[in-house]
Homo-oligomer: A and B are copies of this chain.
Amino acid sequence: MNDSKDLNCPVAAIETEVIQLAHGGGGRLMHSLLETVILSAFENPAPNECHDGAIFEVGGERLAFTTDSYVVKPLFFPGGDIGSLAVNGTVNDLAMCGAQPLYLSAAFIIEEGFPMAELRQVVASMETAARQSGVYLVTGDTKVVDRGNGDGLFVNTAGIGAVRARTPVNPGAVEAGDVIILSGDLGRHGIAIMAAREHLAFETSVASDCAPLWEPVKALIEAGIELHCLRDLTRGGLASALIEIAETAACALTIEETAIPVLPEVQAACDLLGLDALYVANEGRFAAFVPAAQAAQTVELLGAAGLGAVAIGQVTSGAGGTVAIAGPYGATRRLTMFSGEQLPRIC
């Protein structure tokens, strides 16, 4: 099918007989699992779908619908916890469909023996995050599993939003010449989680970037920015998101390494841990593909919304499905998708 697929992970290696950790990592293995096993059960009668949600019409209104389970470890980390993550993550999936988040469900799988005080803390975080985004948590479920058969707490949220974008927001709408805008610096969430894991003898002051993204997206839509594609940069980070968009849109992307903001302390942690910030998960960052003529205005609007947005590259008319990154000394290399995630259970 595609050079980069063969290059990274041959198909034979992807067809495993048991689930591996990397199947949850946002890379090749996860996409392979989704395509070959899960998606066969999914049939969307409305073809106009966004990346991580479905769009359909009900009562004359175009709705977006999305779900995510959260298994982040540890449950509490600098900058957030599983509760804020579960609300913001689903709010953001709706925002990336160009949809205003309206209603959320919340389902808890709790391990026997889990402290009630921590559950209260998570629920309070969800309440705060929901209020911040103007969404309502309206329905829920609680299951308890016996000790040793869970890991404290898993949370699922599903969300319903009303599509506000006036044109389709998905890779199919991406055009040669579009400018790629990055909403802020990379890598904070992944590094914060890694630092919070007890067994890592490593300390940093970095807090997760976990944040809701509907307000900035709304500002772009209301200003008339033609959003061709939006993508939050969670599992697999910026690199995996761009590769997936390039492949789906069958277009070529070029980005400038020096344009991509990474905090010095995040870069230091990445260097220490042998990680590439381009692949580290974020929970409050997104990439927007907009017409070149609206790129400067997009950066300005996101700046006014409090985000340190920058233009990092462009869609070119080159060979489809590829992402090229130009380094500081003029050399250009091609980004490839990892088979898994650099660290599991990041969200």
Contact = CB atoms under 8 A, between A and B. Distances in A.
Interface string A127-166: 1001000001111111111101111001010101010000
A130 to B, nearest CB: 7
Contact of A23 (B124, B144, B345): B144
A41 B139 contact: no
A269 to B, nearest CB: 22
Contacts of A24: 110, 142-145
A146 B344 contact: yes
Contact of A113 (B18, B25, B43, B60): B18
13 contacts: A16-B116, A18-B112, A21-B146, A33-B142, A38-B123, A42-B140, A52-B139, A56-B138, A67-B105, A67-B141, A68-B107, A69-B108, A109-B154
A139 B53 CA distance: 6
A261 to B, nearest CB: 29
Contact of A119 (B37, B105, B108, B119): B37
A145 B58 CA distance: 36
A189 to B, nearest CB: 16
Interface string A255-291: 0000000000000000000000000000000000000
Contacts of A18: 112-116
B37 A67 contact: no
Contacts of A109: 69, 71, 109, 154
Interface string A18-36: 1111111100001001100
Contacts of A137: 41-43
A19 B109 CA distance: 11
A192 interface: no
B127 A41 contact: yes
